[in-house]
Amino acid sequence: MRKPLRLLLPLLLVALALTACYEPLEYELVINVSDTGAYEMSFDGTIGAYLITQAELDGTPPEELEAMVSEASGYIEENPTVTASEYRGGGIFYVRGTQSFSSTDMGVIFDLSFLDVTREPGRMTFASWSFGEETQEQFDHLGYKHDGHVILRTSASIIESNGKQGPRGHYWDKELIEREGVRITIATP
């Protein structure tokens, strides 16, 4: 009974790696919102694949790690919104891409879990989690470093924002994202 389980373990790890969330690490995320409520997201930076990094830390055999990385790389490369990608080791991928969303969508590029989009009549909100002690401990454990920022551009009315206004639009730097997260509500038709 042990041998079949050992044979299935690499397949299980690959399946988990493909469904695992990716954490944005060092990145620039630009969101352009039109007056209609449609928006486009562009991401340029690194993401950490938690399960690959954890498997590496746990001493998973190299051939199993290679299979996980290969499957995750294929999954990333097959995403039509990805324009460039590269595995950099340690469960970290460089990824660049752009994705457009309609005025009724609530998606996030690459399905990144750190950012949510919600809509209510006459408004849409972009919000992320902030770094709590638990998140920082997880990043430290995995050897991840967060150094990202978000820029949002729109000519629509801003109802509420915890971001800063700059020449390139509303923005959230590393410190603000870690302390408060991203939060902005925009008027929509």
User: What ranges do the domains of the chain cover?
Assistant: 2-187
Provide the pLDDT for residue 22.
85
Q: Token pair for residue 158?
A: 């801003």
Side-chain-facing half-sphere of 57: CA atoms under 13 Å: 14
Q: What is the pLDDT of residues 104-126, one digit of tens each?
A: 999 999 988 889 999 999 999 99
**Range 39-54 average pLDDT:** 96
Q: What is the pLDDT of residues 167-185, one digit of tens each?
A: 889 999 999 999 999 999 9
Pairing assessment for the beta strands 39-49 and 158-161 based on DSSP bridges = unpaired
**Range 84-112 average pLDDT:** 96
The whole model's pTM is what? 0.86
Provide the pLDDT for residue 14.
40
What kind and span of H or E run contains 3?
helix 2-19
pLDDT-derived band of residue 135, with 50, 70 and 90 as boundaries? confident
